[in-house]
Amino acid sequence: MAILLGVLLGHFYPTIAVRMEIVGKTFVDIIKLFIGPIIFLTIAIGIGAIGDRAEVRCQSQGSAFGADPFSSSSKRRTMAAASP
């Protein structure tokens, strides 16, 4: 929609479109300003999350919330404790 409005503005009112060029260039410059930090933070947080997952897995024996009550190993322990 915005592209169509820009084309129409440039076709019917070229002097106004030329004066508005600074708006488009400023917008692109702002986007370029944010791309570097976003990419860096995405990679850094992703690398940090890899270490957190390994630690959580080691502490909880495979489940993110502690012992999994529905796993077969916990059922075996329960059944073994219940049998005489």
Domain ranges of the chain: 23-61
**% of the chain at pLDDT higher than 70:** 60
2: confidence class by pLDDT, cuts 50, 70, 90: confident
Residue 59 has pLDDT above 90, yes or no: no
**What is 15-58 written as a DSSP string?**
HHHHHTHHHHHHHHHHHHHHHHHHHHHHHHHHHHHHHHHHHHHH
If one counts every other C-beta atom within 10 angstroms of the C-beta of residue 68, the result is 14
Integer-rounded Cα Rg, in Å, for the chain is 29
Confidence band, pLDDT 50/70/90 cuts, at residue 31: very high
* Range with the poorest average pLDDT among 26-30, 45-49, 57-61: 57-61
pTM here?
0.48
